[in-house]
Structure 1
Amino acid sequence: MNNTSLTKQLFFASMISLLFLNCSPQLGFQFQGNYKAADETIEQEESFVQFVSPYKETMEEKMGTVIGVSEKALTKEGRENLLGNFVTDIQKEYVEKKFGLAVDISIINNGGMRNELPLGKITLGNIYELSPFDNYLVVLELQSNDVIKLAEFMTERKNMSVSGMRIYGEDNQLKEFSVNGKSVEQGKTYLLAINDYLANGGDNMDFLMGLHIKENSNILLRDMLIEMIQEKTSEGKNLNAEIEGRQIYR
């Protein structure tokens, strides 16, 4: 048995388990578990293969379902990247439609996007590869000082993608930024669309912990992406994104 076939079996086994598990999101939830490396020393169990096989075939067929078409390869290349712009725009648009909220800023950590989207047909499997984690959609309320901290963090780390904000930095220092084309206003509350991992302080974003939660949903990021892509496809729209100067660092 080679590594490729073993990896596929383990992937489909994990996917099958999702059909039987239904977990509700909680801010602060943490998973603990032990991992064993998958290599040629692990023998194939025939009874397991027979059990998994029919589910595997069904899952392969489902994962191959085409849900949209992309006009270009949406990659993670560059500080500001096409995939990040696409996902954060979609996330912002979804929250505004789903919850009727005027979202000011939408962000995602580049590391949370585990794969890129190819040119041409986009399948259900592509989205599961992009977002394999159970990350839930959250909306936080930020005050002006929180927005400044966010802009400073992004300038220093350069590992985030954003919609609704433009940032300019030099030598890891924030020089100027705007939200929806305007300077930050004292006393104004800003809405941030984000995933629960980051809202919990993940990727060293501990300054977000304890902020007021406007919406704590049970909507997975990948489900949001699938729904929005299918909706755009039904409207005759293809996937696309542009580099727009949202983040410029010298």
Structure 2
Amino acid sequence: MKSFMRWTAILATAALLASCKTQLQPTVSKQQYYQIDSALVGDTSIINYYLPYKGKLEAEMNRVIGYADMALTKDGAGESLIGNFFTDALLWKGQQLDPEVQVSFGTKGGIRSELKAGDITVGNIFEMMPFENAVTILTLRGDDMLRWAAFMAKTKGQPASGIQLVIENGEVKEFFVQGKPIDPQAQYKLVTYDYLANGGDYVTCFDQVLARKDYSQRIRETLMEYVSTLTKEGKHIQAQIDGRVRINK
């Protein structure tokens, strides 16, 4: 009898909760839309709170760190001015971190903006690489380097430095690393960023790496350091289409 009464109480409680749940469903009795535009008066307490930070941020974003003699655009088949600049900077940093690094790699989609001719600001670099991607160095077998080259051929070229790649009919026709033919049995070191090393942008050729070293430096920090270093040396930012990735028709 006690068991029957206990289960009856439990079922009654469950029924009550279920009925309460049904009754407490929110409903909209009157819809009203609010327009957000310049006529809306800001909260001065909030504005006064963030204004000092906004000023500091704008000052930093507008800080000039270099000068580009030409516009670095995404235009081009196989390679582009902005892609060559990007991966040259990445290879420069990779070889600082590990002198055995031979090549660098990014993707066209990862470079989010071009650079106009003239002053280069911190904000310009943030626009180019707004993500938190960090530097990664991979050790690969030669045959996996060939898989990487095949990926670039399939995708009609990607930003890279330290290589000469000839693509014909979507296939790798010639592939050199630092001027030498690829050796399938040799080992190579490639600098990229963690997003691509993890398989982002459909990059599947880094699934069998021999070694991997992740660094804390962000890619945009590398780009800013590269531009600032050249500026201190009295150099302007330049890039050229040099045939590192060529597509034969």
Compute the TM-score of the two structures, normalised by the length of structure 1. Answer: 0.79
The alpha-carbon distance between structure 1 residues 196 and 45, as it changes in their structure 2 partners (threshold 3 A), is farther
Is the contact made by 1:144 and 1:189 (CA closer than 8 Å) also made in structure 2?
A: yes
How many residue pairs get aligned? The number is 210
Decide which of 158, 179, 182 is 1:181's aligned counterpart. 179
The runs of 4+ residues in structure 1 deviating greater than 6 Å are none
Whole-angstrom CA distance in 2 between matches of 1:127 and 1:169: 30
Aligned residue identity for 1:87: F
Shift of 1:186: 3.4
Superposition pairs for residues 2-151 of structure 1, below 5 Å?
A: 41=36, 46=43, 47-79=45-77, 80-97=79-96, 99-151=97-149
Greater mean alpha carbon deviation, residues 210-219 or residues 143-152 = 210-219
Identity of aligned residues (%): 36
Is the contact made by 2:64 and 2:119 (CA closer than 8 Å) also made in structure 1?
A: yes
Decide which of 221, 225, 228 is 2:226's aligned counterpart. 228
Unpaired runs of at least 5, structure 1? 1-39
Q: Which has the larger radius of gyration?
A: 2
Q: Aligned Cα RMSD in Å?
A: 1.7
Shift of 1:206: 2.0
Shift of 1:41: 4.7
Is the contact made by 1:140 and 1:192 (CA closer than 8 Å) also made in structure 2?
A: yes
Is the contact made by 2:141 and 2:210 (CA closer than 8 Å) also made in structure 1?
A: no
Unpaired runs of at least 5, structure 2? 1-34
Is the contact made by 1:111 and 1:159 (CA closer than 8 Å) also made in structure 2?
A: no
SS in 2 for 1:73: coil
Which whole-Å deviations, capped at 9, do the CAs of 1:191-216 have from their partners, x for residues lacking one? Answer: 00101000000111122134133421
Partner of 1:193: 191
Aligned residue identity for 1:85: N
